[in-house]
């Protein structure tokens, strides 16, 4: 697999695992490409290494064509090997990267110059946080998929406490069905509440939350992750419970917090 640096007319190459990142071609740079000379195929991924206007650092996928790329933000955690991390030519100061080789979190402590990098280990108590800055609506489909925002990284061998607050709404018929994406081998126990309704579950549970037309609901869940045997995403995975023309939405303000206990 080839990784080409968009900051230098794609002149340099660096190797990143295509299997781990689930892509066939991955480019990286400081500006999202807008013209066909970059030769990024449909479904090709681009790792934006610093903020580009209103575009946050992270992974983007080309949902358009080589001739007319359209970039969609992918809220997947950034996991790189040490070789991949140190090969980056720039990275935003406030976006951590998990080094899967050293099993540590790193951030760019260089300050106001994201085009330069001084890697520093994230120290102290670790809280991984994700929130929805905009709402996500899903209509018709009942196939659960990861929320584009509510996703963080769990690390093998760690023990975690998590808290999830879902703000949501939909029609009388659609409801909301959810489960948790978690690293392979993870064991979970959790409980939650929405109004007068109580819920309990494990890593395999699928839960349905009722929706009512014209109403906004809020449900709160917390629990523990133990026996995490591999690094990977911990995320809210959801869809409509029943196919319906009116969308079910997870709304602005929903949050996910993962607290490393030990």
CATH topology of domain 127-260: Jelly Rolls (2.60.120)
Higher-confidence residue of 30 and 11: namely 30
How many distinct helices (H) and strands (E) make up the chain? 1, 22
Domain boundaries, the chain: 3-121, 127-260
Contact of 231 with 100, CB cutoff 8 Å: yes
Model confidence over 68-103: pLDDT tens digits?
A: 888 887 766 678 888 888 888 778 776 778 887 887
Residues in the chain: 262
Give the integer Cα–Cα distance in Å for 220 and 165. Answer: 5
Q: What are phi and psi of 86, to 5 degrees?
A: -75, -15
Give the integer Cα–Cα distance in Å for 58 and 232. Answer: 16
Q: What pLDDT score was predicted for residue 1?
A: 25
For the residues 34-50, what does the mean pLDDT come to? Answer: 76
DSSP string for 128-190: EEEE-SS-EEE-S----EEEEEEEEEE-TT--EEEEEEEEEE--TTT-EEEEEE--TT-EEEE
DSSP string for 58-111: EEEEE-S-SSS--EEEE----EE-HHHHHH-S---TT--EEETTTTEEEEETT-
Give the integer Cα–Cα distance in Å for 24 and 78. Answer: 17
If DSSP codes are grouped into helix, strand and coil, which group holds residue 8?
helix
6-15, 34-43, 136-145, 226-235: which is most confident? 136-145
Q: What pLDDT score was predicted for residue 218?
A: 97
Model confidence over 159-209: pLDDT tens digits?
A: 999 999 999 999 998 999 999 999 888 999 999 999 889 999 999 999 999
């Amino acid at each position: 697999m080839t990784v080409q640096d968009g900051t230098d007319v794609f002149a340099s190459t660096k190797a990143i695992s295509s299997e781990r990142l689930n892509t066939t071609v991955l480019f990286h740079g400081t500006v999202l490409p807008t013209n066909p000379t970059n030769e990024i195929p449909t479904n090709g991924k681009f790792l934006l290494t610093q903020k580009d206007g209103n575009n946050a650092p992270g992974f983007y996928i080309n949902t358009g064509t080589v001739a007319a790329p359209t970039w969609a933000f992918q809220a997947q955690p950034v996991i790189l090997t040490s070789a991949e991390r140190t090969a980056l030519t720039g990275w935003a100061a406030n976006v951590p990267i998990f080094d899967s080789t050293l099993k540590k979190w790193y951030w760019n402590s260089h300050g106001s110059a994201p085009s330069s990098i001084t890697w520093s280990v994230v120290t102290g108590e670790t809280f991984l946080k994700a929130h929805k800055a905009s709402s996500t609506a899903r209509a018709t489909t009942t196939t659960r998929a990861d929320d584009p925002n509510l996703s963080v990284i769990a690390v093998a061998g760690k023990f975690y406490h998590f808290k999830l607050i879902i703000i949501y709404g939909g029609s009388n018929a659609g409801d909301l069905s959810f489960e948790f994406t978690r690293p392979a081998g993870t064991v979970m126990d959790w409980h939650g509440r929405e109004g007068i309704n109580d819920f309990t579950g494990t890593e395999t549970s699928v839960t349905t939350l009722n929706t009512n037309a014209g109403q906004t609901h809020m449900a709160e869940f917390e629990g523990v992750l133990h026996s995490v045997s591999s690094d990977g995403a911990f995320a809210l995975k959801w869809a409509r419970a029943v196919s319906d023309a009116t969308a079910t939405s997870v709304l602005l303000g929903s949050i996910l917090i993962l607290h490393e206990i030990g």
